Amino acid sequence: INEHAIVSVTDFQGRIIEVNERFCAILGYTREELVGQDHSLINSGTHGASFWQEVWRTISAGKPWRGEVCNRRKDGSLYWVDSMLAPFAGEGGRIEKYISIRFDISQAKLNEKNLQQTRDRIAMATDAAGIGIWEWDVVANVLSWDDWMYRLYGQPPQSALEPYTLWSSSLHPDDRERSERELQAALRGELPFDTEFRIVRRGGELRNIKASARVI
C-alpha cells in the first residue's frame, strides 16, 4: 500500500498522526509540517461544508467512506484523489483513529474535463449549424437522438415514439426501403452511410434530409 497509495492516519479528532512518504512527496510538505495538523491544511475549497459534514458523519459512525476529493498542494496546485477513509475502533468499540488511503486520479480528471470541453464545443457548433446528432448502440438496439434531431423531424423531445420508429415512420414511402437498405449495408461494413432522403413531418410537410454516420 505504501508503495502505490497516498496514506495518512489521524487520531479520533482528525489530527494527523502518521503519513507515508508518497503523501509528503505529492503534497510538498514534510512529515514534520503535517503531523499534528488536520486535513483542512490541504483543503482546496472545491467541496462545500455539507460534503465534509457527510464524510465526517459517516466515518464517526464507524462506517467507511469512499469518494473523489480535490486537495491542494503546498504550492497551491490542485490534485484529485480516489479516497477511502476507514475508522479503527479499540476496546469497547470506541473509535481510536482513521486511516485514509488515496490514489492519484488527477490525469483522469483532466482527461474528463478536456473531453467535456470538446463535447461542449461540438454541441455549440452543431447547435449553431442546426445539425442533429444521433447514436445507435446496435448491440443493445438503443437509438439516441439529441434535441436537434427531434426539431428536424418536427417532434417534441418527449415524443412517445422511440427514435428508430420515429425515423422509419417519417421516411417518405418512396425512400423508406432504400434508406433502410443503405443503413443495414453500412452496419455490415459494405459502404459508408452517407445519403439523402425525404421525410414527411406532421401535417404533411415534406423535408429533405442529408444524413451521415460512421460505424465503430
Residues contacting residue 35 through CB under 8 Å, at least 6 positions apart:
16, 17, 18, 19
The predicted structure's pLDDT at residue 1:
84
Whole-prediction pTM: 0.61
Size of the chain, expressed as the number of residues it contains:
216
Q: Which amino acid is at 84?
A: M
What H or E segment, with its residue span, contains residue 6? strand 6-11
If phi > 0 it is left, if psi is from -120 to 50 it is alpha, else beta; for residue 108 that is alpha
Closest to 35 measured CA to CA, from 13, 17, 20? 17
Q: Which residues pair with 10 in a beta bridge?
A: 16, 98
Q: All 3 cell numbers of residue 168?
A: 422509419
Q: Which residue bears the cell 421525410? A: 199
Residue pLDDT tens, the chain, 216 long = 888 899 999 999 999 999 999 999 999 999 999 999 998 999 999 999 999 999 999 999 999 999 999 999 999 999 999 999 999 998 888 899 999 999 999 999 989 999 999 888 888 887 888 889 999 888 888 889 988 999 999 988 877 778 888 888 999 999 999 998 998 899 888 888 899 999 999 888 999 999 999 888
The predicted structure's pLDDT at residue 210:
94
Q: All 3 cell numbers of residue 204?
A: 404533411
The predicted structure's pLDDT at residue 104:
92
**CA–CA separation, 6 vs 18, rounded Å?**
11
Q: Which residue bears the cell 483543503? A: 43
Closest to 17 measured CA to CA, from 85, 100, 78? 100
Q: 162-176 burial by CB neighbour count: b if 16+ within 10 A, else e?
A: ebeebbeebbeeebb
Give start and end residues of each alpha helix (H) in the chain.
Answer: 21-27, 31-34, 49-60, 106-129, 147-152, 163-170, 173-187
**CA–CA separation, 192 vs 175, rounded Å?**
18
